[in-house]
């Protein structure tokens, strides 16, 4: 079964847009394992839009652009598989892809079979140029059905940006993840707005179908296709922590061939990733503070009885995160406190009773793993 936990991988779009090629994909696959990405859980290497010719061939099949992919897609898939990775591709439910290439409307079954024959393990399915007369859930049910009939296990990644109340029907289409937001940009405002847009939609994410709040911009530093501004390393840490605790798939978007140590440390922080990859797949709940502070708190129940707790300063001035444990159900009379571990500092803080408070600079975060322990 696919997507027991949020899918993890890399996608070409954020940095490379339409400038993709066999060479880029091979070079990306080549550095993957040395960076420890597979070991950290990243598995799917996904080519986004603009990989095909602008026209189907005379038999109605999609054709890889021979300038970008001179040996065809099967050869690329074989190479990716030879590195122990899984291979992903992209199509669209409307009359064209967002980049103006042929999409799969009315070709769902033939395309799903083509992808299966090439060895594709993951299909991102976009929503541009959607026909007005067919509801979105039918378009996704069609491709969901086609993939399930293709003879290959293909993870179905729906991408309709949270439009048309997608969270209410997407699970029924067989999708394993669904974009619940618009496109991300490499800047703090975008990260903040995307995260806050999910407030109170927590219940729509669960094993086998996760809310996807878009690919990561960690490590882009203002370079590439969606790089509008860039972020600091602290902002990237906050971004990665939010995506992890909020159950989003973790799809890297930077150029991993040229990655620095700070980016690598963020993307491979196994204690943060463990919150995201918990097999129980519970979504975090979000909490406002009594004083309406810009520091938001997210709490994610973990299968071993512990909790991920994230404090995120979304504001532009210094802030304080203050969690009263009774707000998470831990009463003072219970005789329990929380054993706390800091997942960025990688150190135990000790046992706290009744509450925990931390100061946070603008856009900074603190992420803890908390285990209830008897104190009296
Ligand atoms: C849409 C999607 C993006 C990307 C582009 C490709 O905007 O949301 O993630 O796939 O299309 O054109």
Percent of the chain topping pLDDT 70: 100
Which of 10, 13, 166 is the pocket-test mutation for ligand 1 (most atoms within 8 Å of CB)? 13
Closest CA to 301 of 326, 283, 279: 283
Report pLDDT for 95: 97
Measured distance CA(66)–CA(59) in Å, rounded? 17
Tokens of 76: 């690329």
Closest CA to 344 of 315, 309, 371, 301: 309
Find all residues with CB under 8 Å of 82, minimum gap 6, and list them: none
Q: What is the dihedral of CA 254, 97, 250, 73, to 10 degrees?
A: -80
Cβ 308 under 6 angstroms from ligand 1 = no
At residue 242, the 3 state secondary structure works out as: helix
At residue 192, the 3 state secondary structure works out as: helix
Cβ 49 under 6 angstroms from ligand 1 = yes
* Other Cβ atoms closer than 10 A to 1: 7
At residue 105, the 3 state secondary structure works out as: coil
What residue's CA is closest to ligand 1, atom 11? 98
- What are residue 238's phi and psi, to 5 degrees? -65, -45
Cβ 37 under 6 angstroms from ligand 1 = no
At residue 365, the 3 state secondary structure works out as: strand
Confirm whether 304 is a catalytic residue: no
- Average pLDDT on 307-329 reads 96
Tokens of 62: 């999609």
Report pLDDT for 203: 86
Report pLDDT for 200: 81
What residue's CA is closest to ligand 1, atom 1? 98
What residue's CA is closest to ligand 1, atom 9? 183
Cβ 184 under 6 angstroms from ligand 1 = no
- Average pLDDT on 48-75 reads 98
Confirm whether 186 is a catalytic residue: no
- What are residue 360's phi and psi, to 5 degrees? -135, 130
* 295 within 8 A of 320, measured Cβ to Cβ: yes
Report pLDDT for 263: 98
Catalytic residue selected from 126, 212, 255, 294: 126
Would you say residue 260 has pLDDT above 90? yes
Angle between helices 108-118 and 72-82 (to 10 degrees): 50
Helix (H) or strand (E) holding 24: helix 22-32
Long-range contacts of 191-194 (CB under 8 A, 24+ apart): 191/217, 191/231, 191/235, 191/238, 191/239, 191/242, 192/314
Report pLDDT for 129: 98
pTM of the model: 0.98
Q: Categorize the per-residue pLDDT at 291 as very low, low, confident or very high, splitting at 50, 70 and 90.
A: confident
Measured distance CA(301)–CA(280) in Å, rounded? 9
């Amino acid at each position: 079964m696919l997507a027991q936990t949020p899918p993890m991988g890399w996608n070409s779009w954020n940095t490379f847009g339409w400038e993709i090629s066999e060479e880029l994909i091979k070079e990306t696959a080549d550095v993957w394992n040395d960076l420890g990405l597979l070991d950290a859980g990243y598995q799917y290497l996904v080519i986004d839009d603009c990989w095909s010719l602008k026209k189907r061939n005379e038999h109605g099949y999609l054709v890889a652009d021979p300038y970008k992919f001179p040996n065809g897609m099967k050869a690329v898939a074989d190479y990716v598989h030879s590195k122990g990775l899984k291979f992903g591709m992209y199509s669209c439910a409307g009359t064209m892809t967002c980049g103006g290439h042929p999409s799969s409307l009315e070709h769902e079954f033939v395309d799903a079979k083509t992808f299966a024959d090439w060895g594709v393990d993951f299909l991102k399915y976009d929503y541009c140029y959607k026909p007005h007369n067919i509801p979105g859930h039918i378009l996704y049910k069609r491709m969901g059905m086609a993939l399930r009939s293709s003879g290959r296990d293909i993870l179905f990644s729906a991408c309709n940006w949270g439009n048309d109340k997608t969270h209410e029907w997407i699970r029924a289409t067989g999708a394993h993840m669904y974009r619940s937001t618009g496109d991300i940009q490499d800047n703090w405002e975008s990260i903040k707005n995307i995260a806050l847009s999910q407030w109170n939609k927590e219940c729509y994410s669960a094993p086998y179908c996760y809310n996807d709040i878009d690919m990561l911009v960690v490590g882009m530093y203002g370079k590439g296709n969606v790089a509008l501004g860039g972020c600091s390393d602290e902002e990237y840490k906050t971004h990665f922590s939010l995506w992890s605790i909020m159950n989003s798939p973790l799809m890297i978007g930077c150029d991993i061939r040229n990655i620095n140590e700070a980016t690598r440390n963020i993307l491979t922080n196994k204690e943060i990733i463990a919150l995201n990859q918990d097999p129980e797949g519970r979504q975090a709940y979000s909490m406002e503070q009594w004083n309406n502070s810009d520091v938001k708190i997210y709490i994610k129940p973990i299968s071993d009885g512990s909790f991920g707790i994230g404090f995120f300063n979304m504001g532009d001035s210094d802030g304080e995160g203050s969690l009263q444990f009774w707000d998470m159900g831990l009463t003072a009379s219970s005789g329990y406190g929380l054993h706390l571990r800091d997942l960025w500092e990688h150190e135990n803080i000790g046992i706290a009773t009744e509450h925990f408070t931390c100061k946070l600079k603008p856009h900074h975060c603190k992420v803890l793993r908390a285990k209830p322990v008897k104190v009296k």
